[in-house]
Amino acid sequence: MKCQVCNKQEAKIKLDHLGKTVCKNCFARSIERRIRRTIRDYNLLKDKDKILVAVSGGKDSSLTLTYLVNYYKYKPGKVFAVYVDRGDAHSVKQALAGEKLSKKLGVPFCTVSFRELFNIGITDIRRIAKKEGLNTCSVCGVFRRRALEIKARELKVDKVATGHNLTDEALSYLMNFSKGELKNFIHLGPISLPKRKGFTQRIKILSRVTDEEIREYVTLKRIKFYPNTCPCRVGSLRYNFLPVLADIKKARPGAEFSIVKIGEEIAELARNKHRDFRLNKCKKCGEPTSQDTCRVCEYLEI
């Protein structure tokens, strides 16, 4: 069977959202075009930007880092890589994979650890999660976001880039559809609220490329990565929505794309409706929070 786009090469890969089977070249072009369009549509990058990439050694962040390094090759902007060390068994190998790739790409690499910033380790995270009746991942995420924010300020970067892909985004939207709170949507989408809200802006350049496509693409482009799925994600709301998304995709291939499309539109509506959205300052540490005390401070008390 010939590629249904160029009609020349042999068709190898199915593109769900187009319902077409394409050759390797057309596949790679489709991925690169979608990343370019996400960057353009949401104005994710400026030529002079300093960007901190959160690397985990995994496929998504490895592709994000590689793409951004190439993007800034002939531009004045600069790219840095950081690994957030949670102190678990995976950390050493993941950090090494991240460091190796950064070295290869010529990017300054640093690590930041839960132990040095908050004096906690993975056992403390598990203890806090258990006490709060939460999943480990949600507690871990709170500290991880703060760790990235601290490093971003220290390096005076303009933006933090994460490896979230379209599948991650679809799960976030499904989760938030089920919660039914429009206000929650203001934080979703390929770019976060501007810096004046107290956080360094977050960007997700892979938010139009699915998990499977990224796996295929990095293999095709021989981008090395450490295969990592967080062991503590089992039981998280996000994880519970994985089979739901799989069922929706079975009923309607390409539905992942439509969920993200409508989700992004709702996020835009939410931002317009809640334009006056303000955060308080945590009374303990001064970081922005919607409560009196931020969750980092709250968790550290437990």
Please give the structure tokens belonging to residue 221: 């482009």
Please name which of 185, 160, 153 lies closest in space to residue 286, comparing C-alpha atoms.
153
Q: Which segments of 133-254 does DSSP mark as H helices, in order?
A: 136-154, 166-179, 211-220, 237-240, 242-251
State the nearest-atom distance from the C-beta of 199 to Zn ion, in Å.
13
State the nearest-atom distance from the C-beta of 171 to Zn ion, in Å.
28
State the nearest-atom distance from the C-beta of 285 to Zn ion, in Å.
3
State the nearest-atom distance from the C-beta of 25 to Zn ion, in Å.
5
Q: Which is nearer to Zn ion, 77 or 198 (CB)?
A: 198
Q: Which is nearer to Zn ion, 143 or 241 (CB)?
A: 143
Q: Which is nearer to Zn ion, 3 or 259 (CB)?
A: 3
Rounded to an integer, what distance in angstroms lies between the CA atom of residue 234 and that of residue 135? 8
Convert 45-55 to b/e letters by CB count within 10 Å (16 or more is b).
beeebbbbbbb
Q: Which is nearer to Zn ion, 142 or 166 (CB)?
A: 142
Number of H helices, E strands in the chain: 12, 9
Rounded to an integer, what distance in angstroms lies between the CA atom of residue 42 and that of residue 287? 27
Q: What are phi and psi of 9, to 5 degrees?
A: -80, 170
Q: Which is nearer to Zn ion, 80 or 143 (CB)?
A: 143
Residue ranges in contact with Zn ion by CB under 5 A: 3, 5-6, 9, 23, 26, 282, 284-285, 287, 294, 297
Q: Which is nearer to Zn ion, 214 or 294 (CB)?
A: 294
Determine contact, residues 148/82, Cβ cutoff 8 Å.
yes
Q: Which is nearer to Zn ion, 146 or 164 (CB)?
A: 146
Q: What are phi and psi of 290, to 5 degrees?
A: -85, -10
State the nearest-atom distance from the C-beta of 141 to Zn ion, in Å.
16
Please give the structure tokens belonging to residue 135: 């999943």
State the nearest-atom distance from the C-beta of 6 to Zn ion, in Å.
3
State the nearest-atom distance from the C-beta of 2 to Zn ion, in Å.
8
Please give the structure tokens belonging to residue 197: 């809200």
